[in-house]
Each structure stands twice: as structure tokens, then as C-alpha cells.
Structure 1
Amino acid sequence: MVHVRELDPNASPLDYFGYELRRKREEAGLTLKELGGVLFCTGSLIGQIETAAKVPQREFAERVDAALMTDGFFSRLVGLVLRSQLPTWFQPFADMEAKAEYICTYQAQMVYGLLQTEQYARSVLATGMPDQLDELVAARLERQRVLQRERPPLAWVVLDEAALHRPLGGAEVMREQLARLLGYIDRRWVRVQVLPFAAGEHASLIGSFTILRFEKEPDVVYTEDLISGHMTADSEIVREGTLRYASLQAAALSLGDSAALIARVMEDRYGKQPVA
């Protein structure tokens, strides 16, 4: 007799997802193989998710809802599951980011997480040599859903020109990523400025930071070091961060000139080169 691992649904969002998936599948009278046939995946994959051995993706959750007629239950739950895969120290920021009315960030080394393509995100996250890279990538893409809401936050990104030139993932990945940035030109709720090399010394040579603003809660400033993040609502730090951010915006190129620079770097540095 095969021993089936019993999950505690209160242990974590992942355990709860697996517990409910098994319960709903058995309620429908389906075996793992039968449900797999409906979902176009293996019964083994479903078994791994039911035992919390594998993290479900959003597409999987949506297919389960359709197959088991669960009225979007698993699609709603998967967001919590994926967010729980983020590093513990990062989760409080992700929660606050999802509630913010206004996100303004300066990024010195790379494209802001909410604007990253899947392959660019994979290249960034792989540098930390994680054990569960696929899960971290899925969690980052899930974070980006905040920009797809009916009323998204205003996201204003000042991006150091260095981030355009650093070839994370190779030329094709960078070309796709810079094309993604250009795709935000006509988006009312996303603004991208580039701080050019020509700006020289500037107000945040020390590194990247993000300010989150809320309708009814104090603003917060978020920074990261090598292995963790730090968030504070201290009024003096927020005031200093706001002043520095305004200085960075003033030193950056206009929105139009920023788009032109992104397009130029995309073609000159990452364009398809003729075969010699």
C-alpha cells in the first residue's frame, strides 16, 4: 500500500494549496492520472503539488479551477503560495509594495523587479545561486501583477544607464528586456527615466533605494544590502530619501530622451549582428 503524505493545511500556503487540491480532486472522484489528463500534465506533477513537494504555477491553478469548477479558488490562493516563496526578509516589502499607491525607485545596477522579463529575472536571481530558482522566478512574476490591476500604483523608475549596458543573460535577453522598457512608454501608470553616465556624481552613488507611498499610511524607504533588506518609516530618513529622489529625477533624462537612449542601446549593443 502506497503511503500518502498527510499535509497540515495550517502549516503554510503551499501546504494549504496541496491539501485543498487533493480534497477537491477526490471529491470529484478523479485519480491523479485522470486529473492530469484533463490538465494536460502528468499525474506525478499533481501528486508532487498535493504533497507540497512542488510549487504550483499560476497557469496550473487557473486550469485546476476550470477543470474542478472551483470558482477561482485556486487562482486566488496561488498568489499567496508564490509570495511565500520569496525570501523571508523580502516578504514584508513585497506586501507593502502590493498596497502602495505610488512606487518611486532608483536602480543602480539592474532593471526594477516589477519591470523585468522572465528571462532577465531568471538571470538576476540565478546570481544568488538559489536551490529553487524556478519558484523564485514565478514569485517575481507574480509580484508584477500589481501593475495589471484595474487601478495600479504609479510606478516611477529612475534607472542608471549602467543597467542598460550590463548584459545579464546575454544579448537576446537584454534586447527583450529593453524592448519591455520601451513598451511602457504609452503606459500611464509606469514612467521610466534613465540617469545617464554624463550626469557624473549624483545624489545616490551609494546605491539603489525605493520609496513607497500610501493613501493612509506613512511613507517608507526600502534599501538592500548583500543578504537582506531594510524598510523604515522614520520621518527623517523618508525626508532625506524623498529629497535625493527628486534630485535624481532632475538629473535624469526626460521620458522621451530616456526612451531614445534605451532604443539606441538596444540596437547598438544588443541588435542582431551580421554573420562574418
Structure 2
Amino acid sequence: MANIQKLDPSASPLDYFGSELRRVREAHGLKQGQLGSMMYCSGSLIGQIETTKKVPTREFAEALDQALGTDGLFSRLVSLVLRSQLPGWFRPYADMEAKAAYISTYQAQVVYGLLQTEEYARAVLATGMPDDLEALLAARMERQRILERDRPPLAWAVLDEAVLYRPIGGHEVMRAQLQRLLDYAEHRWMRIQVLPFEAGEHASLDGSFNQLRFDDDPDIIYTEDRISGHMTANPETIREASLRYAHLQATALSVEKSVARISRVMEERYGARP
């Protein structure tokens, strides 16, 4: 007789997803291989997700709902699963980011997480040598869904010009990433500015930071160090950060000139016309 692994649905969102998958599959009288054939994947993958050895992606969850006729059950559950894959110290910020009405960010090293392509994000996340890179990547891609809402947060990103030149993931990845920035530049709720090298010293030489604004709650400032993140709603810190950001916006290239600068770097550095 096959050794069926017992599942504890209360252990975590991932365990609950796996146990629900097994319950619904068995209720339909399907073996793992049969369900896999319906979803154009292997029965082994079904088994690995049922037993929490792999983390489901949103695409997998949506395919499950379609194959099993579960009216969005797994698409709803996967949001909880993917959130649980974020580092524990980062989850409070991700929760606040998802509620924000306005996001402003200055990034000195890399493209802001919400604006990253999948391959760029994979290369960035890999530098931390995570135990499960694909799960962390799926969680980051899920986080970006706030920009796909009918009413997404207003967002303003100031990127140091060094971000455009740093070849994360290689030339192909950078070409696609810079094109993503140009695509976002056409959205009415997103503004991107480049802080050019010629600006010299500026108001945030000590690093990147994000500011979140809410309709009914105090503003929040978020910063990161090597191993953790830090949020504060201290009014003096908010005032100082707001002043710094205003100086950064004033020093950066205009939105139109930033588009031209990104396009130029894309062509000259990575050999592709936008």
C-alpha cells in the first residue's frame, strides 16, 4: 500500500493549500497524474505541492480553479501562501505597501521591487542565497499585483542613474528591465525620474528609502540594512524624509528627460532601441 503523507492544514498557509488541493482532487476522484494531465503539468508537481515540497504559483492556482471548477478558491488561497513566503521581517512593510494610497521611493542600487521584471528580480534575490529562490520570486511577483488594481496607488520613483548601468542578470535582462521602466512611464499613476550622475552630491547619499502615505493613517518611512527592514511613523523622521525627497525630485531629471536618459542608456549600454 502507498505511504500517504498526513497533512496538517493548520500548520501554515502552504500546508492548508496542499491539504485543500488533496481534498478537492480526491473528491473529484482524480489521481495526481490525471489532474496533472488536465493542467498540462506532471503528477509529480501536484504531489509536491500537496505535500508542501513546492510552493504554488498564481498561474498554478488559477489553472487549478479552472480544472476543478472551484470558483476561485485556490486563486484566493495562493495570495496567503505567497505572502507567507516573504521574509518575516519584510511582511509588515508589504502589508502596509498594499494599503498605501501613495508610494514614493528613492533607489540608489537597484530598481524598486514593484517595478522589477521577473528575471531581474530573480537575479537580485539570488544574491541573498535564499533556500527557495523560486518561492521568494513568486512572492515578489505577487506583491506587484497592487499595481494591477483598478485603482492602484499613485507611485513616484526616483532612480539613481547607477541603477540603469548596473548589469544585473546580464544584458538581455537589463534590456527588458529598462523597457519595463519605459512602459511604466506611460501610466498616468506612475512617475519615474532619473537622478543623473552630474547631480553630484545630493540629499540621500546615505541610501534608499520609501515613503508610504495613506488615506486615513499616518505616513510611514521604510529603510533597509543588510539583514532587516525598519519602519517608522515618527513625525520628525517623516518631515526630514519628505524634505529629502522633495530635494531629490527637484535635482532629478524631469519625467520626460528621464525617459530620454533611460532610452539612451538602453541603446548605448545594452544595444537595443526602445
Q: Say if 2:256 is the partner of 1:256.
A: yes
Following TM superposition, by how much is the alpha carbon of 1:3 offset from its aligned partner in structure 2, in angstroms? 2.0
- CA distance, structure 1, for counterparts of residue 203 and residue 7 of structure 2: 51
Task: In structure 1, give the amino acid aligned to 2:246.
Answer: A
Aligned twin of 1:25: 25
- CA distance, structure 2, for counterparts of residue 49 and residue 218 of structure 1: 40
Aligned twin of 2:212: 212
Structure 1, 264-273 or 41-50: larger mean CA deviation:
264-273
Report the CA distance shift for 1:205/1:263 in structure 2 as closer, same or farther (over 3 A): same
Aligned twin of 1:110: 110
Any runs of at least 4 consecutive aligned residues in structure 1 with deviations exceeding 2 A, and if so which? none
- CA distance, structure 1, for counterparts of residue 64 and residue 157 of structure 2: 36
- CA distance, structure 2, for counterparts of residue 232 and residue 272 of structure 1: 41
Task: In structure 1, give the amino acid aligned to 2:3.
Answer: H
Note if contact 2:266-2:272 (Cα within 8 Å) is conserved in structure 1. Answer: no
- Output one character per residue of 1:61-99: Cα deviation in whole Å (capped at 9) or x when no partner: 001001111101101111111111111111111111111
Task: In structure 2, give the amino acid aligned to 1:74.
Answer: F
Aligned twin of 1:148: 148
Aligned twin of 1:246: 246
Note if contact 2:64-2:74 (Cα within 8 Å) is conserved in structure 1. Answer: yes
Q: Tell me the secondary structure at the aligned position of residue 159 of structure 2.
A: strand
Aligned twin of 2:197: 197
- Output one character per residue of 1:111-146: Cα deviation in whole Å (capped at 9) or x when no partner: 000000011001101111112111111111111110
- Output one character per residue of 1:189-231: Cα deviation in whole Å (capped at 9) or x when no partner: 1110000011111110000000011111111000000111001
Q: Tell me the secondary structure at the aligned position of residue 55 of structure 2.
A: coil
Task: In structure 2, give the amino acid aligned to 1:2.
Answer: A
- CA distance, structure 2, for counterparts of residue 98 and residue 70 of structure 1: 26
Using the size of structure 2 for normalisation, the TM-score is 0.98
Percent identity over paired residues = 69
- CA distance, structure 2, for counterparts of residue 222 and residue 38 of structure 1: 44
Task: In structure 2, give the amino acid aligned to 1:128.
Answer: G
The alignment covers a number of residue pairs equal to: 273
- CA distance, structure 2, for counterparts of residue 233 and residue 9 of structure 1: 36
Following TM superposition, by how much is the alpha carbon of 1:21 offset from its aligned partner in structure 2, in angstroms? 0.5
Unpaired segments ≥5 residues, structure 1: none
Aligned twin of 2:176: 176
- Output one character per residue of 1:150-202: Cα deviation in whole Å (capped at 9) or x when no partner: 11001100000000010001111101100000011210111100000111111
Aligned twin of 1:162: 162
- CA distance, structure 2, for counterparts of residue 35 and residue 216 of structure 1: 46
Task: In structure 1, give the amino acid aligned to 2:121.
Answer: A
Unpaired segments ≥5 residues, structure 2: none
